[in-house]
Copies of this chain bind each other. A is one copy, B any other.
Amino acid sequence: MAAGEAPWSFAFAIPPATQGLRMYSSDFLHGTEDPWTRPISAAHKMVETLTVFDDVFVPWERVFFYNRPDLAGAAALTFVEFHRFTAVSYKLPLLDALVGTGFAVAQANGIERAGHVREKLTWLAGYAETVRGLTQLAAQRCLTEVGIAYPDVFTTNLAKWTFARDFHHALDTVQDLAGGLLVTGPSGMDWKSPEIRPVLDKYLRGAWPADRRMAVINLISDLTARTYGGYQAVLAIHAEGSLEAEKLAMFRAYDSKRAIGLAMRLAGLSEN
List A residues at the B interface (Cβ < 8 Å).
22, 24-28, 30-32, 34, 37, 39-40, 48-50, 52, 54, 93, 96-97, 99-101, 103-104, 114-116, 118-119, 121-122, 125-126, 128-130, 133-134, 136-137, 154-155, 158, 161-162, 167-169, 171-172, 175-176, 179-180, 182-190, 196, 199-200, 203-204, 212, 215-216, 218-219, 221, 224-227, 229-231, 233-239, 242-244, 247, 250-251, 254, 256, 258-264, 266-269
Would you call A225 and B219 a contact (CB within 8 A)? no
Would you call B256 and A99 a contact (CB within 8 A)? yes
Would you call A244 and B116 a contact (CB within 8 A)? yes
Total identical chains = 4
Kindly provide the distance from the CB of A195 to the nearest chain B CB, expressed in whole angstroms.
10
Would you call A190 and B24 a contact (CB within 8 A)? yes
Cα-based distance from A259 to B97 in the complex (angstroms)? 6
Q: A39-B268, A136-B137 are in contact. List 5 more A-B contacts (CB 8 A).
A: A104-B264, A119-B119, A168-B168, A183-B230, A227-B230
Contact of A155 among B133, B190, B244 (CB under 8 A): B133
* Minimum CB distance partner of A28 in chain B: B183
Kindly provide the distance from the CB of A106 to the nearest chain B CB, expressed in whole angstroms.
10
Query: Which chain B positions have C-beta within 8 A of A171?
Result: 168, 233
* Minimum CB distance partner of A176 in chain B: B237
Query: Which chain B positions have C-beta within 8 A of A244?
Result: 116
Residue among A122, A128, A218 facing the most chain B CB atoms (10 A cut-off): A122
* Minimum CB distance partner of A94 in chain B: B262
Cα-based distance from A127 to B215 in the complex (angstroms)? 35
* Minimum CB distance partner of A199 in chain B: B52
Query: Which chain B positions have C-beta within 8 A of A119?
Result: 116, 119, 247
Cα-based distance from A30 to B127 in the complex (angstroms)? 34
Would you call A259 and B128 a contact (CB within 8 A)? yes
Would you call B215 and A183 a contact (CB within 8 A)? no
